[in-house]
Structure 1
Amino acid sequence: MKAAVLQGTKQLEVMDWTYRSPVAGEVIIKVKSCGICGTDQHIYHGHPGSAEVHPPIVLGHELAGVVVEVGAEVSTLQKGDRVSIDPNIYCGTCEYCRSNRAHLCNHLQAVGVTRDGGMGEFCVVPAANCYKIPDAMTFEEAALVEPLGCVLHGFKKVRFSPLSRVLIIGGGFIGQLFLQLVKNQKVHSITVIEPAENKRELLYQLGADEVVHPENASNLEVDVVIECVGRGESMELAVQSAAKGGQVLLFGVAAPETVISVSPFEIFSKELTIKGSFVNPYTHDEAIALISKKVVDVGALISHRFGIEELPEAMASFPKLNVSKAVINH
Structure 2
Amino acid sequence: MKAAVLQGTKQLEVVEWENPRPLTHEVVVKVKSCGICGTDQHIYHGHPGSAEVHPPIVLGHELAGEVVEVGSEVTSLQAGDRVSIDPNIYCGTCEYCRSNRAHLCQQLQAVGVTRDGGMAEYCTVPSANCYTIPDVMTFEEAALVEPLGCVLHGFRKITLSPLSRVLIIGGGFIGQLFLQLVKQQHVQSIVVSEPADNKRELLYQLGADDVVQPMAAAKLEADVVIECVGRPESMELAVKSAAKGGQVLLFGVAAPDTVISVSPFEIFSKELTVKGSFINPYTHEEAIRLIAKKVVDVGSLISHRFTKEELPAAMADYPALRVSKGIINH
Q: TM-score range by the shorter chain?
A: over 0.9
Amino acid aligned to 2:11:
Q
Which structure 2 residues correspond to residues 28-107 of structure 1 after superposition, within 5 A? Answer: 28-107=28-107
Question: After TM superposition, what 4+ stretches of structure 1 lie above 3 angstroms from structure 2?
Answer: none
In the alignment, what sits opposite 1:286?
A: 286
Q: Report the 3-state secondary structure (helix = DSSP H, G, I; strand = E; otherwise coil) of the residue aligned with 1:305.
A: strand
Alpha-carbon contact 1:219-1:241 (below 8 Å) kept: yes
**Partner of 1:232 in structure 2?**
232
Q: Tell me which amino acid in the other structure corresponds to 2:13.
A: E
Shift of 1:215: 2.5
1:127 deviates by: 0.2
Query: Which amino acid is 1:127 matched to?
Result: S
What is the CA deviation profile of residues 52-95 of structure 1, one whole-angstrom value per residue up to 9, with x for unaligned ones? 00000000000000000000110100000000000000000000
Q: Check the 8 A contact 2:20/2:122 in 1, yes or no.
A: no
* Corresponding position: 1:117 with 2:117: yes
Are residues 1:140 and 2:140 paired?
yes
Stretches of structure 2 that go unaligned for 5 or more consecutive residues are none
- CA distance in 1 between counterparts of 2:177 and 2:50 reads 20
- Name the counterpart of 2:309: 309
Q: Secondary structure at the match of 2:83?
A: strand
- Per-residue Cα deviation, 1:287-315 (whole angstroms, up to 9, x for no partner): 00000111100000000000000000000
Tell me, what secondary structure is at the counterpart of 1:182? helix
Q: Tell me the amino acid that sits aligned with residue 324 of structure 2.
A: S
Q: Helix, strand or coil for the counterpart of 2:295?
A: coil
**By how many angstroms is 1:24 displaced?**
1.1
Match of 2:189 in 1: 189
CA distance, structure 2, for counterparts of residue 309 and residue 296 of structure 1: 31
Report the Cα distance in structure 2 between the residues aligned to 1:185 and 1:20, rounded to whole angstroms: 44
CA offsets per residue over residues 92-118 of structure 1, 9 Å max, x none?
A: 000000000000000000000000000
Cα distance between partner residues in 1 of 2:215 and 2:320: 22
TM-score, structure 1 as length reference: 0.99
* Kept in 2: contact 1:179–1:207 (CA 8 A): yes
**TM-score of the two chains, using structure 2 as the length reference:** 0.99
Kept in 2: contact 1:19–1:124 (CA 8 A): no
- Residue pair 1:96, 1:104 contacting (<8 A) in 2 also: yes
Deviation at 1:20, TM superposition (A): 3.0
Give the C-alpha shift of residue 214 in structure 1.
1.4
Q: Secondary structure at the match of 1:3?
A: strand
Q: What secondary structure is seen at the aligned counterpart in 2 of 1:6?
A: strand
SS of 1:310's partner is helix
Query: Which amino acid letter does the alignment assign opposite residue 297 of structure 2?
Result: D
Alignment partner of 1:7: what SS?
Answer: strand
Structure 1 residue identity aligned to 2:121: E
Following the alignment from structure 2 to structure 1, what is the Cα–Cα distance between the partners of residues 84 and 146?
8
SS of 1:205's equivalent? helix
Tell me the distance in 1 between the aligned counterparts of 2:263 and 2:19: 51
Counterpart AA for 1:61: H
Find the residue that maps to 1:65 and give its secondary structure: strand
Is the contact made by 1:25 and 1:127 (CA closer than 8 Å) also made in structure 2?
Answer: yes
8 Å Cα contact 2:26-2:74 kept in structure 1? yes
Give the letter aligned to residue 164 of structure 1. S
Whole-Å Cα distance in 2 between the matches of residues 51 and 97 of structure 1?
16
Within 2, Cα distance between the matches of 1:80 and 1:122? 14
Displacement of 1:218: 2.1
2:268 is matched with 268
Cα distance in 2 for residues equivalent to 1:4 and 1:100? 35
How much has 1:251 moved relative to structure 2? 0.1
Distance 2:148 2:110 in 1: 17
Q: Which residue of 2 aligns with 1:254?
A: 254
Q: Deviations over 1:194-238 (max 9, x none)?
A: 000000000000000000011322211010000000001100110
Aligned-partner residue type, residue 115 of structure 1: R
% identical aligned pairs: 82
CA distance in 1, matches of 2:316, 2:112: 18
Q: Secondary structure of 1:247's match?
A: strand
Inter-partner Cα distance in structure 1 for 2:146 and 2:167: 23
Instruction: Quote the Cα distance in structure 1 between the aligned partners of 2:194 and 2:266.
Output: 25
SS of the equivalent of 2:268 reads helix
The alignment partner of 2:265 has SS state of helix
Question: In structure 1, what is the Cα distance between the partners aligned to 2:127 and 2:299?
Answer: 26
Q: Residue 297 of structure 1: SS of its match in structure 2? A: coil
What is the distance in 1 between the residues matched to 2:243 and 2:320?
36
Matches within 5 A, 1:150-169: 150-169=150-169
